[in-house]
Amino acid sequence: MKHYIPFLVFLAIFGYGWGQGAEYVKEIVCRLSADEMKGRGYSQGGDSLAADFIASELKRHGTKPYGDSYLQRYPLDIFTIDGVCRLKVDGKELRPYDQFKLKPMRTLTKEWLEKARWRTEKDGIWYIGVVKLGMSVPLTPFDDMKAPYVVEVLDSVGTKPPKKIKADLTVTPRMGYLSQNVCGYIPGETDTMVVFTAHYDHLGMMGDKVCFHGAHDNASGVATVLDIARRYGLSKPHYTLVFCLFSGEEAGLLGSSYMAQHPLFDLKKVRLLVNLDLLCGGSEGFMVVNGKAENTTPFVNRMKARNKERHLLPEIKLRDNAANSDHWWFSKECPAIFIYTLGGRYGDYHSPYDTCDKCGIEDTYEKVLQVILAAIE
């Protein structure tokens, strides 16, 4: 028995921590996508609530802040949808999100108008009747401040504009709103860094009642970054490990853009930056955006080799670089990849139904993580 004691102690310290990954990430996804986080948007301080929670996790896992705070504040311009958010068309009350959406005026393109069944204007706001509502996008600033949005209405009344529209819609411009990125690090044996990033913001609220939960997009990526911090927090890793969670992604990669322009660490010392977004799936493997670049290929090859030797995931696909997530700004300065999962379980994209119960992160998490971590060894 004596011989087993050191082994049991080892298991207690390391085996427990590493083995609990799937439960930990699921718990974090559920916390971040709960109603209380207000869709991690900019109404009712959703972004701050999420940032404080993330900072407390980074602290709990033993990471250090840059300076005296885990938060890097920066201003952004954004509109939010506040209050009751009601729309009555010809006496019929419509459900927010399911039957109507508020969209930035800039989305009012020629093609979109051609698809419209009708359009009408009331009190300076355009109402557009459509057969199918488009994707939800945040109300980012628009040059005409008087009419920053249009209302897309699921048309159930026919091809003509409704006779009566009664709207109680409050859209609040928040210019210079102070949001924040959240960063922490674990010093390694060398100051060469591996950086893990994920955006924690989502689409916020549509009025008081409709919450965009954003479990897949991107509580899942944040949970994974926090789990990596948790796993390495008590050790001295070879490379310095940096963990950065951004806001402003949905509004145009704004938090990461600020960070790239005001870096807290030397970007020239970054060996690899791994951005994680949309991690609830994985049954079909994952995609590596910017995985074909000369400076990222050695890392991608390492992931592929690990995947093959351990028979972990069906496929690792590669795509050319694109400005589709936060890795984009950093890819000009250092090797940077963006990973999103393929297949698996998750709720509807950019909808209130992207919830924790629909997120299957626990199904393939350990396999996905084993492949990702091969890149940084």
Instruction: Provide the minimum distance between the beta carbon of 304 and Zn ion in the complex, in angstroms, as a whole number.
Output: 27
Nearer to Zn ion among residue 57 and residue 217 (C-beta): 217
Nearer to Zn ion among residue 289 and residue 312 (C-beta): 289
Instruction: Provide the minimum distance between the beta carbon of 164 and Zn ion in the complex, in angstroms, as a whole number.
Output: 35
Nearer to Zn ion among residue 248 and residue 282 (C-beta): 248
Instruction: Provide the minimum distance between the beta carbon of 296 and Zn ion in the complex, in angstroms, as a whole number.
Output: 23
Give the CB-nearest residue to Zn ion.
Answer: 217
Instruction: Provide the minimum distance between the beta carbon of 347 and Zn ion in the complex, in angstroms, as a whole number.
Output: 12
Residues that bind Zn ion (CB under 5 A): 217
**In whole angstroms, what is the distance from residue 4 CA to residue 20 CA?**
22
- Which uninterrupted H or E stretch holds 128? strand 125-130
Nearer to Zn ion among residue 54 and residue 334 (C-beta): 54
Instruction: Provide the minimum distance between the beta carbon of 350 and Zn ion in the complex, in angstroms, as a whole number.
Output: 6
**In whole angstroms, what is the distance from residue 20 CA to residue 18 CA?**
6
**In whole angstroms, what is the distance from residue 200 CA to residue 223 CA?**
9
**In whole angstroms, what is the distance from residue 245 CA to residue 339 CA?**
15
Q: How far from 263 is each of 2, 5, 259, 271, 364, CA to CA, in Å?
A: 51, 46, 5, 15, 33
Number of alpha helices (DSSP H) and beta strands (DSSP E) in the chain: 10, 15
Using DSSP's 3-state secondary structure scheme, residue 219 falls into: helix
What's the sign of the alpha-carbon dihedral 112, 113, 115, 121? positive
Instruction: Provide the minimum distance between the beta carbon of 217 and Zn ion in the complex, in angstroms, as a whole number.
Output: 4
Nearer to Zn ion among residue 155 and residue 217 (C-beta): 217
- Which uninterrupted H or E stretch holds 122? strand 118-122
Of 187, 185, 226, 217, the closest CA to residue 199 belongs to 217
Nearer to Zn ion among residue 130 and residue 203 (C-beta): 203
The radius of gyration computed from the CA coordinates of the chain, to the nearest angstrom, equals 22
Nearer to Zn ion among residue 186 and residue 254 (C-beta): 254
Q: How far from 264 is each of 51, 70, 258, 261, CA to CA, in Å?
A: 17, 11, 11, 10
Nearer to Zn ion among residue 26 and residue 213 (C-beta): 213
Instruction: Provide the minimum distance between the beta carbon of 110 and Zn ion in the complex, in angstroms, as a whole number.
Output: 25
Instruction: Provide the minimum distance between the beta carbon of 77 and Zn ion in the complex, in angstroms, as a whole number.
Output: 18
Q: How far from 329 is each of 256, 325, 338, CA to CA, in Å?
A: 7, 9, 12
